[in-house]
């Protein structure tokens, strides 16, 4: 079955440490996305990538970094520069030229203590 996998489901880190969240898809989708969910603020776009080796900043990219070395993988690094990293992070993918057809992962809950 094709799908999108985020791991781990729950992640705890100490303040000041960088942490990388994994997102892997086997849907052969070109485009991949990272969103952050906070209570009362909906889903906000962090970074997105339309094609391998290319990515664009979303609305809240500060304190985050990404890479897109393989079509299937779009890891997100939460750096120590991100002021409020505790949140629920969602990865999504879709075929590049389609308007619809987003597939979301089940998310990673990051807690920084």
Partner 1 sequence: DQQVKQNSPSLSVQEGRISILNCDYTNSMFDYFLWYKKYPAEGPTFLISISSIKDKNEDGRFTVFLNKSAKHLSLHIVPSQPGDSAVYFCAATPSGGSRLTFGEGTQLTVNP
40 near partner 1 (CB under 8 A): yes
13 near partner 1 (CB under 8 A): no
Residues sharing a CB contact under 8 Å with residue 79, sequence separation 6 or more, in sequence order: 18, 63, 64, 65
61 near partner 1 (CB under 8 A): no
Q: How far is CA 112 from CA 5, 14, 35, 37, 94, in A?
A: 22, 5, 18, 15, 30
Of 16 and 97, nearer to partner 1 (C-beta) is 97
Binding segment toward partner 1, per CB under 8 A, in 11-19, 66-74, 76-84, 85-93: 85-93
> CB of 44: closest distance to partner 1 in angstroms?
7
């Amino acid at each position: 079955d094709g799908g999108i996998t985020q791991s781990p489901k729950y992640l705890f880190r100490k303040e000041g440490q960088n942490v990388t969240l994994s997102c892997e898809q086997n849907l052969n989708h070109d485009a991949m996305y990272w969103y952050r969910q906070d209570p009362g603020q909906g889903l906000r776009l962090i970074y997105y990538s339309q094609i391998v080796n290319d990515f664009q900043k979303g609305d809240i990219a500060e304190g985050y970094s990404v890479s897109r070395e393989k079509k299937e993988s779009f890891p997100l690094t939460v750096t120590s520069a991100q002021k409020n990293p505790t949140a629920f992070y969602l990865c999504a993918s879709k075929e590049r030229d389609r308007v619809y057809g987003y597939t979301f992962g089940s998310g990673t809950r990051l807690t920084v203590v």
